[in-house]
């Protein structure tokens, strides 16, 4: 006499194997989706960073300009970014300065650096600073920064 199907070891073994296979496929798809989201997010931050750097390298830390109709010169970099801490972060993560702090050069960020909250915060604050400057000094922003 044949044993009932629920006592057959091969049935349970095959069932467990099928469940594990389905779970493995599910995990693989979740991992792939997470990687795609991460790559898109990395690309978004890289694009924002590159856009900022494009504007920043047009000026330098010691650049002074005289606005139209004004009797005095302003320090462009310090007017756009008055907070010394933000200037330090910009120079640490987005651009490099030469030995004399006369020229900005682009800094290349790796994807893991772009995921850092401090880098993302620096990018966001820099964007806000440029936007505020373009509102308060539209001619200078257009001429010197290309905004």
Q: What is the pLDDT of residues 13-63, one digit of tens each?
A: 888 888 888 888 888 877 777 888 889 999 999 999 999 999 999 998 888
Please give the Cα distance from 11 to 39 (Å, whole number). Answer: 42
CA 69-140-87 angle, to 5 degrees, is: 125
What are the tokens at 90? Answer: 């910009």
Q: What is the pLDDT of residues 57-93, one digit of tens each?
A: 999 888 888 877 778 888 899 999 999 999 999 999 9
pTM as predicted: 0.75
Please give the Cα distance from 74 to 47 (Å, whole number). Answer: 30
């Amino acid at each position: 006499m044949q044993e009932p199907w629920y006592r057959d070891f091969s049935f349970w073994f095959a069932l467990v194997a099928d469940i594990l296979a389905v779970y493995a496929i599910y995990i693989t798809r979740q991992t792939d989706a997470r990687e795609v989201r991460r790559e898109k997010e990395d690309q978004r931050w890289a694009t924002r960073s590159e856009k900022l750097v494009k504007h920043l390298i047009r000026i330098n830390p010691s650049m002074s300009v005289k606005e139209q109709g004004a009797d005095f010169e302003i320090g462009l970099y310090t007017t756009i970014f008055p907070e010394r801490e933000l200037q330090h972060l910009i120079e640490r993560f987005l651009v490099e300065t030469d030995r004399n702090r006369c020229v900005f050069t682009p800094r290349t960020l790796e994807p893991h650096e772009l995921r850092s909250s401090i880098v993302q915060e620096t990018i966001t604050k820099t964007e806000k600073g440029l936007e505020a400057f373009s509102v308060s000094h539209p001619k200078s922003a257009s001429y010197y920064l290309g905004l």
